Amino acid sequence: MAPSLEYRVNAPSIAATIHPTLRSRAPGLLLAVAIGLLALLLGRWAPLIGGPVFGIVLGIIVRNVFAPDARFTPGIQFGGKQVLQWSIIALGFGLSLTQVAKTGLESLWVTLITMSVAFLSAWLLGRWLGVHDKLKILIGVGTAICGGSAIAAVTPIIRPDDHDTAFAISTIFLFNVVAVLLFPLLGHLLHLSDLGFGLWAGTAINDTSSVVAAGYSYSHAAGDYATIVKLTRATLIIPVCLVLAFVVAAREKRKHAQAGSAGHFSLARIFPWFILWFLVASGIRTAGLLPLAIQPALHMLAEFLIIVALTAIGLSANLRRMISSGARPILLGLGVWAAVSVSSLLVQLVIGQL
């Protein structure tokens, strides 16, 4: 009996052998995964809304109704940052750079002009409305490029408050829904061609799922064209992230220099390495090195990871602080979205494509 008793007393439990960091993250991460699974199912049921939006909305509800205690904080923070980066890398495996090259070049000028309009209007209107810089960047990037995915990509670089990220994604989603309902009606009223509407939808609607929904509700040809334009537009998140990374790096370098501690600054620390790995993933897909059999699984993995990440961001969002921000961020999103929509039509009119 003695040896047996000694074993029971001295043998480490399974829980004790788990790495302390993993143990601390497990409750919050499991909560985000569980809510993310529900959001994924709801997204399948209502694809117009999509799993990522369900994830962040459910996360906000749980955070503000049930108020998870401090045990969940490490895992929620991990999900909103590290899992977010993993999701962007996984998205790279689904984006072939050659797939969008031809149509992308045809639509590039319109895309670049509408992006410039988005950033300029976000800066000017945001300054006039008194919206702070990080929220202006989030709304500007989300409107200019690809909605929630773009916001997710720049979040690890500019490091905004979680409630700002949630607010920006919610604002972008609001105008996605409006665009899906309004764009086809306006397209028919303006007698746009299939390619004209596809270019308009692909450059002026934020989220990919909303672009697809609006495009194919207009016509099959418009849907095909809009989708490719949107994929091209999505690749521009790479140079935008790199520019933002160098801007943040320069600011931190000045800050450290003023504090007399410039030697502690490291560009490697601020550089968004996940974007580099995103390029590697896209290169693998483009080179045909990815077996066709696993591509659907990688697509599902990328979708689920971004749902989990955005759920974690929702779980971090303080609804009271979002409400206290007032109507100004929503007005900013409306102004930027309207500027992009009108500029896309004007460019097509000038080049004779309408």
Q: Helices 194-204 and 162-189 meet at what angle, rounded to 10?
A: 160
Cα four-point dihedral sign 83, 88, 89, 93: positive
Looking at 22-26, 104-108, 255-259, which range is the least confident one? 255-259
Q: How confident is the model at residue 322 (pLDDT cuts 50, 70, 90)?
A: low
Give the Cβ contact number of residue 129 at 10 Å.
16
Segments making up each domain of the chain, as ranges: 26-350
Could you give the CA distance from residue 6 to residue 337 in angstroms, rounded to a whole number? 69
| pLDDT tier for residue 221 given thresholds of 50, 70 and 90 | confident
Higher pLDDT, 71 or 84: 71
Mean pLDDT within 202-214: 79
Measured CA to CA, the distance from residue 139 to residue 41 in angstroms comes to: 27
- Torsion-angle region of residue 96: left (phi > 0), alpha (psi -120 to 50) or beta? beta
Which candidate, 126, 104, 180, places its Cα nearest to that of 341? Answer: 180
Question: Which of 25-34, 45-54, 164-173, 254-263 is the least confident region?
Answer: 254-263
pLDDT tens digits for 240-299?
A: 888 888 887 777 777 766 655 554 445 455 455 776 787 788 788 888 888 888 888 888
**Separation of alpha carbons 291 and 189, rounded Å:** 45
pLDDT at 14 over 50: no
Question: Please, are residues 59 and 216 in contact by the beta-carbon 8 Å criterion?
Answer: no
- Binned at pLDDT 50, 70 and 90, residue 60 comes out as confident
Give the model's confidence band at 31: pLDDT under 50 very low, under 70 low, under 90 confident, else very high: very high
CA quadruple 332, 80, 274, 232: dihedral sign: negative
Greatest pairwise CA separation for the chain in angstroms: 92
Average pLDDT (159-181) is 77
The confidence band for 140, taking pLDDT boundaries of 50, 70 and 90, is confident
Nearest to 162 by CA among 69, 64, 40: 64
Computed over every residue of the chain, the mean pLDDT equals: 78
Whole-number pLDDT of residue 268: 55
**pLDDT higher than 50, residue 92:** yes
> What's the pLDDT score for residue 2?
44
Percentage of the chain surpassing pLDDT 90? Answer: 8
Model confidence, pTM: 0.61
Q: Are 46 and 90 in contact (CB under 8 A)?
A: no
- Contact yes or no for 30/162 (Cβ under 8 A): no
HSE-CB at 243 with a 13 A cutoff on CA atoms is 7
DSSP 13: P
